[in-house]
Amino acid sequence: MKRPVLHHDVHLTSLVGGGQAIGTLPSGKKIFAWGALPGEVATIQQTKRKSNYAEGIAIDITTSSSERTTPRDAASYLSTSPWQIMAPERESHYKAALIEEAFELHNIVLPDPITVQTDGQMYEYRNKVEFSWWWDTDKNQLDLAFFKRGGKGKVPVDGTSLARANINHVARQVRDVLRQRGVEARALKTILLRCDQAGRVTAGLYVKEEDFPAFTPAELRATGATGFELIYSNPKSPASVLTTQLQAWGTYTLTDTILGVPFCYTNHGFFQVNVPLYEQALRYMQPWVAEPGAPVVDMYAGVGSIGLTIGGDDVTLIELNPAAVQQMKATITELGRQGSATAVLAASEQALDYIQPGKTIIVDPPRAGLHTAVIERLLATRPPRIVYLSCNPVTQARDVALLATGYGIRAHQGFNFFPRTPHIEHVVVLDRKS
């Protein structure tokens, strides 16, 4: 028997690190709600119940905040960018407050006023989008879709305002080809699209059938993509993983330049989603990396877009993804830097010997933060400077607290890589204590 759907009228008081607004139920239990802002009174449909808190989605706003604005993607903003309801000029304020809160939880007071840099491009900034698929039973029609946040099901869409316009165009063109074929959503997983700064788009269509018919030359031209892959992805896995490449057409490797250095990447490889903001962060980090005049070790290096741009003339780059390391080595060769840059295939926690007292260390870990072995090695060897770029200030603050016996904060700066979402990038420069 299904549980009844619960609705609560709640006064929301603040935003939390995950991006939701928080309020208190009559029972005293806290509820975290999407689609609401601080100061609002809203009817919240409960989507999850735990012993000490609940989660939900605002379905009606009784008292509206002066900071509320109409979302561009009214049907799907909760799936992709739940802060579309917030006035753009207030976004940096709230992100700065969340950074401050993350560090205060560890009794760390950041030494300078907290600011979050942006380039003002609040929409059409993403160079990568993955759409799911939806079958409209009323229209007998295939649609692009996103998964609903906080519940089951999907939301049919025509695109997303976060993506570069060329991405939405190619997505719709592929959809139209599939509609003409009469393909239903059950045969498909997702479509992954990427766009470089020049506007070239590659598309990877992930399907559940090994005998899915290849696209004809006319269909491929109709997509508007510069490169296209048809990929069979094992339906037993919910993720869109490459099991077998069924078709490859055109040029499906893209190239972007970061601080004057060209980087190539594939449709399903890793690359930065918002290149202009990433360059802002690198320019901020560059003098802090260069100042000690020491050899540099770039941990969690990806394709080398930090170490090969600001790492100087003696840089070692550590990365665990074989495809990323292969691409990094190719870039090093193309740049003629075999004598000044070394790519190492290893997990950072298995490459601890590269952390040495005379090195400057750059870390850019995943959301989980630094591995404990990396923290222990940093404290044991005490390199003079650590430059820590984080996509999660909560785990960054935890790591900085663990390093506090040996390091103090020299500088810090926030960056709004993902406008209209709660995600925050934050740089902390740590100097060895005397």
> Is the confidence at residue 267, as pLDDT, over 80?
yes
Looking at every residue in the chain, the average pLDDT score rounds to 96
The predicted-structure confidence for 279-303, as pLDDT tens digits, reads as follows 999 999 999 999 888 999 999 999 9
CA-to-CA distance for 78 and 89, rounded, in angstroms?
Answer: 19
261 pLDDT above the threshold of 60:
yes
CB 106, CB 86: distance < 8 Å:
no
Q: Does 387 score more than 80 pLDDT? A: yes
Query: What is the CATH architecture of 128-256?
Result: Beta Barrel (2.40)
- Identical topology for domains 93-121+273-432 and 128-256: no
| Entry pTM | 0.94
Please, what CATH class does the domain formed by 7-68 belong to? mainly beta
SS3 content of the chain, % helix, strand, coil (to 5): 25, 35, 40
| Mean pLDDT for the stretch of residues 91-120 | 96
393 in Cβ contact with 366 (< 8 Å): no
Q: What is the mean pLDDT of residues 13-21?
A: 94
Q: What is 105-144 written as a DSSP string?
A: TTT---SS---EE--S--SS-BSEEEEEEEEETTTTEEEE
Confidence of residue 2 (pLDDT cuts 50, 70, 90): low
Condensed to tens digits (0 to 9), the pLDDT of residues 354-363 reads 999 999 999 9
DSSP 8-state code for residue 68: B
Where does 93-121+273-432 sit in CATH, by number?
Answer: 3.40.50.150
Instruction: Tell me the per-residue pLDDT of 184-214, one tens digit each, with 9 for 90 and over.
Output: 999 999 999 999 999 999 999 999 999 999 9
Each domain of the chain, given as residue ranges in start order, spans 7-68, 93-121+273-432, 128-256
